């Protein structure tokens, strides 16, 4: 007949299992954050390239607007109006971008957090049995 483990042995086993569980969840969180970091890096690089190309395009649009206005106005006034229009547009875009950044949540390892919550819930249920 097998003997029942002592309370000390049970506590030791629970402690080891909890330690293994925490280590596993930390590895999961680390892997998830690395994956998100790689994606964010690629996305940031592509957005930077898009911004550079877009900037060159906006210079062309600005020149076109200024040239069109210069048909009916003095050149200096046409350039001033075109510049003012683009500065207003830049201000609106900056305000919209700032609002979006305020609403952004900090990156976090969501799957790992869900896993820890599930583990804690399971442990609580088993303790209460």
Distance separating alpha carbons of residues 119 and 42, to the nearest angstrom: 33
Q: pLDDT by residue (tens digit) across 78-121?
A: 999 999 998 999 899 899 988 887 777 666 777 777 877 887 77
Q: Which residue, 114, 119, 104, is CA-closest to 29? A: 114
Instruction: Please give the residue that has the higher pLDDT: either 126 or 64.
Output: 64
Model confidence band, residue 49 (pLDDT cutoffs 50, 70, 90): very high
Q: Is the pLDDT of residue 32 over 70?
A: yes
* pLDDT confidence of residue 87: 92
* pLDDT confidence of residue 1: 62
Q: What would the mean pLDDT of 18-36 be, rounded to a whole number?
A: 87
Q: What would the mean pLDDT of 49-72 be, rounded to a whole number?
A: 94
**What does the CA dihedral 24, 120, 127, 9 come to, rounded to 10 degrees?**
20
Which range among 5-9, 35-39, 91-95 has the greatest average pLDDT? 91-95
* pLDDT confidence of residue 129: 67
* pLDDT confidence of residue 80: 95
């Amino acid at each position: 007949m097998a003997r029942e483990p002592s309370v000390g042995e049970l506590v030791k086993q629970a402690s080891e299992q909890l330690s293994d569980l925490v280590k596993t969840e930390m590895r999961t969180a680390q892997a998830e954050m690395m994956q998100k970091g790689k994606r964010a890096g690629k996305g940031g690089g592509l957005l930077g390239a898009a911004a550079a190309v877009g900037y060159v395009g906006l210079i062309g649009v600005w020149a076109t607007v200024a040239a069109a206005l210069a048909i009916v106005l003095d050149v200096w006034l046409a350039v001033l109006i075109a510049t003012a229009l683009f500065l207003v547009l830049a201000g609106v875009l900056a305000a919209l971008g700032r609002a979006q950044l305020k609403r952004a949540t900090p990156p976090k390892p969501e799957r790992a957090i869900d896993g820890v919550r599930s583990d804690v819930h399971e442990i609580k249920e088993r303790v209460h049995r």
